[in-house]
Amino acid sequence: MVRFWLVAGAVLLFDRMTKYLVLLYMTTGQSIPVIENIFHLTFVKNPGAAFGLFAYRTMFFILVTTVVAAVIVYFQHTLPPGKKLLRTGLGLQLGGALGNLTDRIQGGYVIDFFDFRFWPVFNIADMAIVGGVAILAYEILRDDGKQECKEEERVENGYNKG
């Protein structure tokens, strides 16, 4: 359980620090090439969700994010002690959700700045959410595979349910 809160807190802290630096040293729309035409730091205020979808639905996003964060916290408490990787994934998701939620509450938009030119601009919180979802998917698929192996073993040993 400590892992969950440490990961969530670290993501939230790192996200807030990077966004603070963007606000301090950049102006909206400014783009600083790190690797010309490949990777830039570009300050974008995103009033929508991923890819700018559903722009200016701030109260909706605040409500949905609050509910999702509560579900993540609840689900994390129901996990058995050995689920460290799953707790890490949920911590990434919570930290990312809280980072973007803080932006929406403070300004009505999310601060994005990583710009790879071929993909919409994003931030640390977005990366944490995507990473957490990837871990969650991996854990679900891995556990499902284990379940299928157990069922095959039961059939092979003559313990067929049917």
pLDDT digits (tens, 9 = 90+) for 84-94: 999 999 999 99
CB 121 within 8 A of CB 115: yes
Q: Of these residues, 15, 126, 143, 144, which one is catalytic? A: 126
Residue 156, domain member (yes or no): no
Q: Is 126 a catalytic residue?
A: yes
CB 42 within 8 A of CB 121: yes
Answer with the residue of higher pLDDT: 56 or 134: 134
pLDDT digits (tens, 9 = 90+) for 28-44: 999 999 999 999 999 99
CB 94 within 8 A of CB 28: no
Residue 76, domain member (yes or no): yes
Residue 150: pLDDT band (50, 70, 90) is low
Tokens of 48: 């929508």
Residue 154, domain member (yes or no): no
**Confidence at residue 159, expressed as pLDDT on a 0 to 100 scale:** 61
Q: Which residues have CB under 8 Å from 114's CB, separation 6+?
A: 39, 41, 121, 122, 123, 127
**Confidence at residue 160, expressed as pLDDT on a 0 to 100 scale:** 57
Residue 161, domain member (yes or no): no
Instruction: For CA atoms 32, 38, 39, 45, give the dihedral sign.
Output: positive
How many domains, in total, are found in the chain? 1
Q: Of these residues, 15, 103, 112, 115, which one is catalytic? A: 112
State which amino acid sits at residue 32: I
**Structural domain that includes position 13:** 2-137
